[in-house]
Structure 1
Amino acid sequence: MQLYNQYCDGMLIVALRFVKDTMEAEDIVQEAFIKAFSKLEQYKAEVTFGAWLKRI
């Protein structure tokens, strides 16, 4: 939950740049976090977690 709280606002801003619809952007953010948490073991500290998450 701490990771979500730390990065959700930034992720929403990024998603809104692509879709311009708040509800769709929120769905995109949720899907991104689901993918990220399911592949968390693949995260390498070569980049920041935020950068890795935004690529998803």
Structure 2
Amino acid sequence: MTFYCDHCGGPAEEGDHAGCLAARAMEPPRYCARCRRRMVVQVTPTGWSARCAEHGLLGG
């Protein structure tokens, strides 16, 4: 099974995702790590939620 970077959407095993990891410290995920689909993200003062059309709701 292939996993994807939840910040840039690229294959997690390929390339350097250090910049993505640094950005994820302050931002919610934008792509589903399972299927690479762009997620619907809502940011609130207390956190965030992200929904993949295939895999459902994630929260943080």
Common topology (TM > 0.5): no
TM-score by length of 2: 0.30
TM-score by length of 1: 0.31
Higher relative contact order (CA 8 A, sep 6+): 1
More helix by share: 1
